Amino acid sequence: MPRVKGGPKTKNRHRKVLKQAKGYYAGRRTGFKMALLTLQRAKAFAFSGRKEKKRDFRALWIERINAAVRTHGLSYSRFVDGLKKAGVALDRKVMAQIAVDDPAAFGAIVDVARQAVKA
């Protein structure tokens, strides 16, 4: 069997990896092996980061809602319970936006939740 080297396929694959590693420091961008390992690690962090971003934003929305609800004399958990009992279907992102942009409208939502909790 004759010896087969990679030829253009290997060169193209290496070029693609090194192009993606542009901007890394020293051997991480010049050496194929190090660049490949660094890229794999970076892609793993990017994947998990996309998941973490969703968690972080949900936590932020809950904090904003909690702060706005407490000014009306209600806790976050009672507020959410009241919304469920009242059948109000607003997600946390929208409620946080209303709490920041339109406090009067948010006060009306809090009143609906308070009525549902009492009933």
Q: What is the CATH number of domain 8-118?
A: 1.10.1900.20
| pLDDT given at position 1 | 84
> How would you classify residue 2: left for phi > 0, otherwise alpha for psi between -120 and 50, otherwise beta?
beta
Residues 6+ apart with CB under 8 A from 115: 82, 86
Are 83 and 42 in contact by the 8 Å Cβ rule? The answer is no
pLDDT at 98 over 90: yes
Higher pLDDT, 70 or 119: 70
For the chain, the C-alpha Rg in angstroms (whole number) is 26
Please state, rounded to an integer, the average pLDDT across all residues of the chain.
95
- Domains of the chain, residue spans: 8-118
Tokens representing 59?
């936590």
Q: pLDDT digits over 17-72, tens only?
A: 999 999 999 999 999 999 999 999 999 999 999 999 999 999 999 999 999 999 99
Grade residue 119 by pLDDT with cuts at 50, 70 and 90. confident
Rounded to 5 degrees, what are φ and ψ at 75?
-90, 160
Grade residue 5 by pLDDT with cuts at 50, 70 and 90. confident
Per-residue buried b or exposed e for 15-43, using 16+ beta carbons within 10 Å of the residue's own CB? eebbebbeebeeebbeeeeebbebbeeee
Grade residue 79 by pLDDT with cuts at 50, 70 and 90. very high
